[in-house]
Structure 1
Amino acid sequence: MAAPQVLIVGAGPTGLVLALRLRYHGVPIRIVDHHSGPGQASRAMAVHARTLEFYEQLGLAQEMVDLGIVMNAMHLWDQGRLMADVPIGNFGRDLSPFPFVLSYPQDDHERFLVEKLRYSGVVVEWDTELVGFEDDGERVRATLRKGSREETCEVAYLCGCDGAHSAVRHGLKLDFAGGAYEQTFYVADVHAMGAATATGGVNMCLNVKDFCLVLPIRSTGMQRLIGIIPDEVKSRENITFDDIRPITERLFGLRVNQVNWFSTYRVHHRVAEHFGQGRAFIAGDAAHIHSPAGGQGMNTGIGDAVNLSWKLAHVLQGRADASLLATYEPERIAFARTLVATTDRAFQIMVKRDLAGRFFRTVLLPYVLPQMFHLRTVRRWMFKTLSQIRITYRGSALSAGMAGDVAGGDRLPWDGVGGSDNFEPLMSLDWQIQVYGDAEATLKNAAAERGIALHVFAWTSMAEKAGLKRDALYLVRPDGHVGLAHPTQDVTVLDHYLAARGITMGTRLSS
C-alpha cells in the first residue's frame, strides 16, 4: 500500500468508519489507538437508520442487522409491573429501508468494523499513542509512541477520533465548553431471568426516582443494563453491582444470575469550539459529547466520519480544492450544538424529580405516548427525530436550490417501496444525478460528457409523497445528501454549481 495520506487517531466507531470510507475511496490511511484492542465495556447500544443507510453504501448493513436485534417495542415498567408497550419495530415504514432501531452493542460493533477494515488491507495499530504533532501548512508530522519506542509519521491530514480526552483536540488547543451531569451512571452485562428478558425490545423503568434500561444482546445472550446509580448507594465508595442489585431487580422483576462486567461513569455535555484547524480535524466524542437520551452519540460520530471522509478523498485526489474541507465544520457543528441542547432537555425531564419530570414519567410515558403512537404523524415524527434522517445541511456552501419539498442539503428521500430502490446507486460513494420521471436528451449527454452517473427512476406516488418533484434534477453528494436541487434539467445550472465549488468529476483513484 502507498504511504498513508491520513492518520486517524482513535479506533472507536467514528475512527473506524472514517478509515473504512477512506479506504473505499482509495485513500491510503493509518489508524492508531492507545488502547490494547476494541472496547470491552462500552455503553452505546442503538444503531439508528441513518447509520445503517451509511453502512448500506458499503454493503454492510444487512450483516449488522443480522448480528443485532431489531427493537420491536419499548416496554415501560414500574416496580416490576409492565405498564405499557409502544410498538417501534416498523415505525419508520416508507421513510427508510431500515425503519427500526437496532440494538447492537458498541463493543461488538467495534470488533465488526475492525474486521471489515482488516479485509480492506488496514490493521489497527493498538497500544500506539499520539504524543504530539506539528502542522506546517503543507504536511502534518505526528509523533507516535508504542511502548518505549517513538516514531514520526508524516501525512497530509490528521483526524482525531480519540474520544472526550482527545489528544488531537488538546494539541489544537480547542475549547471544549460544557459541563457534567450530577448523576453517576452504571452499565453492566448480566445474565438474568424474568419477563423483561423475553420481550425482544428495550425495557425502561418509569419509577419516580429511578432510571434504568434493559436491552438484549444477541452475541452473548446477556442483557445490558444502563441506569443511574440510585440515591441509596451513590455515596458509597467503589460501588459494585451487588450494591444496586436489589433495586435493579425490583424495577423489572428480574433475577440476575451472573454478572459479566460492571462499570460506573459520568456523563458530560460539551461541544468543541471548532471541528478542525489547518490540516487537523476532530470528530465524534473528540468534538461533542452529550447525554445518552435517544442513543444519539455514536451515531452522530459516525455521521461526522461520513461527512469528512469523501471531502478528504476529493481534495487528496485532486477532485476539489482544499476549501471543500471548510464545509465539514459548519455542516456538522450546527447539528452537534442542536443535539446537545435537545438531548440535555430530554434527559433532564427524564431524570428530574420536579413536577414536570414526575408527570412525564408517570403519566405521559405510560398512558399518553402509547395512545399517541397510533397516530401516523406521531410515529413518523418520532422516527425522523431518533433516526437522524432529518439532518439537513441547508445553508451550507455545498447546498443550492429546491425542487418540490427537497432542498440542497437535505438527505435524499428514500423511494424504494414496490419498485426500484433509489438508494442502491449510492453504493458508488460518488456524485450522481437522479431524476424521477423522464431525463431529457441534453441532460443525458451532459452527464456522459462530464463523467457523472445519471439514474432515472419512474415517477411514483411514493416519490411524490417523499417530496420529490417530477422531472427535476437532483445532484446527490457521495454521502447521500442532495447538493443541488433544481426543478428543471438545466445543464447550465449544473455546470455553475460544480464550477463555483471547484468540484470535478472522474474516476476514483486507487491506492
Structure 2
Amino acid sequence: MIALPKQTEVLIVGAGPSGLMMAAQLLRHGVIPTIIDTRQGPTNQSKALAVQARSLEIYRQMGVVEQVLKEGKPAAGAMLHREGKVMATLPLQNAGTGQTPYPYVLMFPQSKNERVLLDYLTLNCCPVYWQTSLVTLKQTESGVEAELQTRDNTQMVNCGYVVGADGAHSVVRKQLGIPFNGDTYQHKFYLADIKINNSFTDDFVHLFLSNKGFAGFFLMPEESNFRVVGNLPAALDNDAEKKFDDVLPHLRAITALPLDVEKVNWFTIYKLHHRMAEKFSDGRCFLVGDAAHIHSPVGGQGMNTGLQDAYNLAWKLAGVVNKQFVPGILNSYAEERMPVARDLLNSTDKVFNMVTSQSLFSNFVKRFIVPPALKFFGKSDKMRAAFFKGVSQTGISYRNSTLNRQLGYQAIIQAGDRLPYLEIFDEKKQTKTDIHAWCSKPGFTLITIGIIQESYLFTLAKWITQKYNLTLNFFHLPPSDKNQHVLDRFEVRPGQRKALIIRPDMHIGYMNDIVDIEMMDAYLRDVVGFVV
C-alpha cells in the first residue's frame, strides 16, 4: 500500500462520483489532492444510472466523453404503463437538439462513471487510498488536522482544505457538527439489476403505476439488462432475509407481464431519504454530493448534482491553493449550489410522494391526469425542449451569485447563465467548431463578439499576456453570415459588440456591451478576486 502523505493541500474524503470528480477537476487546475475511501476498492453495485447532458459536457471538457458515449446507451424517453396498457409515451431522444452536443439522457451506471474518473486519476498519477477512513478532524487558523485510520495504523495528516464527499453518513459533516435536516420516506424500496428474456425491444424507460404500487425498468448498456426500482410489498416489510424471487410476484402483478428473469446480478433493499445539510462549508471544510444533500431518484438527478457540486468548487479551491484568487471566492460555492440543491429537493420530493402514495387522490392523478399531460408534453417540441432543459441540468443558472457582473443591455442571456451551446465557424482556422470548445482549456475565457479594430485586439492580447497569462484564454468572433446566429443569440446588433468572460465551469461571469480593459480588469480583480 502506498504510504499516506503527512501533508496535503486538499484532502478528499470519499471516492464516489463526487469525490473522484473533485479530484479530477483539481488535477485539471494544477492541484494534486489526496483522496481516501473506507471501501476496499471500486464496486459494481451502485444505484445511480442516468448521466445528464451537463455532466457529459464536463466529460467532454476533460477529454473522456468518447469513452462514456461508447459504453453508454441513450434513452429514447419514458413510457407509462397501467394495468398492462401503455397510457402515455414521452419521447426525449434529441429533445435537447440545439441546446447541447448531447441532446438525450445517457444510461451509464455510477460504477462505470467511477471507472472513467479513476482512469483519469491514474493517468495523472493521483492514487486513491482505499481502506482508509477519517477518524477526527480539527480546524486550525492555518489548516485542518485530520486523523486517518488505515489498515495498519492511525496517522495525522495536515491539510490545507478538506472536502467531504463521503455520502449520506458523512463523517466530515458529523465532525463539523452540521445538521442534516429532512426526513426518511416511510416505505422501503428495492433495487435489482436483472437480465430478462423476451424483454422490452425499445430503448425507453418503462414506468408502471398501479393501485398496488410502482416499478420502473431502466435500460442498461448491456443487451436485455435492466435496473428495476420498486416499492417493497407491505407483506415483506418485516422479513429479515429477502431475495428478488420474493418481490417477483408483486412485480408481475404491477406490470401485468410474465417477466422471464434469466439472471439477477444484484438485489438490495433500502430506504430513501430527503435531507440537506444546513450549510455546505465550515471554515476550510466543504461538503459535496450526498454528504450535502440526498433526495429521491426522480429524474436521475442525484449523481449528476454531486458532479456539478465538485465542478463548481474545484476551480475555486484550486485557484486559492495556487494563490491565484483570494480565499473569499470560496464563499460563492455554498451561495451558488445550496439554492440548486434546495430546489431539487423540493421538486423531486413532490413528484416522488405522488408516485409512491396510494391515496385515492394520488391514484386519481396517476390514472386520469398524468397520462394525458404526458401525451400533451410529448406532442409539443417546445415543451419537450423545456423539460429537457430542466432534467439535463443545462438550465441551471447562478444569476444571483456575487461572482457575476452584468453590465449594459439586460439581454435574455445574462451573467450567471450557463454558456449556451452554439456551433460557430472559426474565421481564423477556417473550420467549424462550437463555443464550448473555445472554453475547453482550464482557466477563464474572454470572448469578444462584433466589429473590433485589429489594433485593439492586439491590445487585449497584450493585456492578457502581461496580467493573466495562462489564466485567461482569448477568442474573438467577428460578424459574418456564417456566425450571424451567434450574434443574434447574444443580441449583438449591427455596429455593436459584446465582451463575455466565461468561468472555468462554463458559466458566464461577466457580460458587457462595451469591450473595455479597465472594466474587465476590475471584474477579475474585485469580483472574482484575482491576485495580480
Task: Return the offset for 1:265.
Answer: 0.8
Aligned twin of 2:473: 453
Letter in 1 for 2:185: Y
Aligned twin of 1:189: 193
Matches for 1:431-446 after TM superposition, within 5 Å: 431-440=444-453, 441-442=455-456, 444-446=458-460
Q: 2:248 aligns with which of 222, 236, 245?
A: 245
Aligned twin of 2:428: none
Q: 1:411 aligns with which of 414, 418, 437?
A: 418
CA distance in 1, matches of 2:62, 2:397: 22
What's the TM-score, normalizing by structure 2? 0.90
Moved more, 126-135 or 246-255: 246-255
Aligned twin of 1:26: 30
Matches for 1:480-491 after TM superposition, within 5 Å: 480-491=506-517
Aligned twin of 2:264: 259
Task: Return the offset for 1:466.
Answer: 4.3
Does the aligned pair in 1 maintain the 2:180–2:277 contact within 8 Å? yes
Moved more, 118-127 or 418-427: 418-427
Q: Is 1:74 matched with 2:70?
A: no
Task: Return the offset for 1:505.
Answer: 8.1
Q: Is 1:14 matched with 2:18?
A: yes
1:380 is paired with a residue whose SS is: helix
Q: 1:44 aligns with which of 48, 53, 56?
A: 48
Letter in 1 for 2:315: W
**1:337-387 CA distances to partner (integer Å, 9 max, x unpaired)?**
111111111111222233542244223433331232221221111011101
Moved more, 18-27 or 347-356: 347-356
1:396 is paired with a residue whose SS is: coil
Does the aligned pair in 1 maintain the 2:311–2:505 contact within 8 Å? yes
Does the aligned pair in 2 maintain the 1:398–1:483 contact within 8 Å? yes
Matches for 1:424-435 after TM superposition, within 5 Å: 424-435=437-448
Structure 1: state its 5+ residue gaps: 507-511
Task: Return the offset for 1:201.
Answer: 2.2
Structure 2: state its 5+ residue gaps: 426-431
**1:289-342 CA distances to partner (integer Å, 9 max, x unpaired)?**
111111111111111100110001111111110111111111111111111111
CA distance in 2, matches of 1:495, 1:239: 63
Does the aligned pair in 1 maintain the 2:92–2:104 contact within 8 Å? yes
1:455 is paired with a residue whose SS is: strand
Q: Is 1:321 matched with 2:321?
A: no
Aligned twin of 1:345: 350
CA distance in 2, matches of 1:182, 1:406: 42
CA change 1:120–1:483 in 2 (3 A) is same
Task: Return the offset for 1:423.
Answer: 0.3
CA distance in 1, matches of 2:340, 2:394: 12
CA change 1:355–1:154 in 2 (3 A) is same
Moved more, 486-495 or 414-423: 414-423
Moved more, 309-318 or 436-445: 436-445
Matches for 1:55-454 after TM superposition, within 5 Å: 55-196=59-200, 198-219=201-222, 222-252=225-255, 253=257, 254-401=259-406, 404-416=411-423, 419-440=432-453, 441-442=455-456, 444-450=458-464, 451=469, 452-454=472-474
CA change 1:248–1:468 in 2 (3 A) is farther
Task: Return the offset for 1:43.
Answer: 0.9
Letter in 1 for 2:340: F
Does the aligned pair in 1 maintain the 2:27–2:33 contact within 8 Å? yes
Letter in 2 for 1:300: T
Does the aligned pair in 2 maintain the 1:394–1:409 contact within 8 Å? yes
Moved more, 211-220 or 155-164: 211-220
Letter in 2 for 1:312: L
Aligned twin of 1:474: 500
Does the aligned pair in 1 maintain the 2:418–2:506 contact within 8 Å? yes
CA change 1:258–1:331 in 2 (3 A) is same
Identity of aligned pairs, percent? 33
Does the aligned pair in 1 maintain the 2:190–2:229 contact within 8 Å? yes
CA distance in 2, matches of 1:207, 1:24: 48
1:50 is paired with a residue whose SS is: helix
**1:224-248 CA distances to partner (integer Å, 9 max, x unpaired)?**
1112213343343323211111222
Report the number of matched residues: 505
Letter in 2 for 1:59: G
CA distance in 2, matches of 1:444, 1:355: 70
Aligned twin of 1:509: none
Moved more, 435-444 or 263-272: 435-444
Does the aligned pair in 2 maintain the 1:160–1:281 contact within 8 Å? yes
Does the aligned pair in 2 maintain the 1:208–1:361 contact within 8 Å? no
Aligned twin of 1:492: 518
CA distance in 1, matches of 2:382, 2:291: 35
Moved more, 146-155 or 319-328: 146-155
Moved more, 78-87 or 314-323: 78-87
Does the aligned pair in 2 maintain the 1:10–1:33 contact within 8 Å? yes
CA change 1:407–1:203 in 2 (3 A) is same
Letter in 2 for 1:414: Y
CA change 1:319–1:374 in 2 (3 A) is same
Letter in 2 for 1:257: E
CA change 1:446–1:309 in 2 (3 A) is same
**1:373-420 CA distances to partner (integer Å, 9 max, x unpaired)?**
221221111011101111111121101105521221111111127843
**1:102-151 CA distances to partner (integer Å, 9 max, x unpaired)?**
11111222122212211111121111111111211212121111124111
CA distance in 2, matches of 1:372, 1:502: 41
2:31 is paired with a residue whose SS is: coil
Letter in 2 for 1:107: S
CA distance in 1, matches of 2:187, 2:486: 46
CA distance in 1, matches of 2:160, 2:135: 18
Letter in 2 for 1:84: A
What's the TM-score, normalizing by structure 1? 0.93
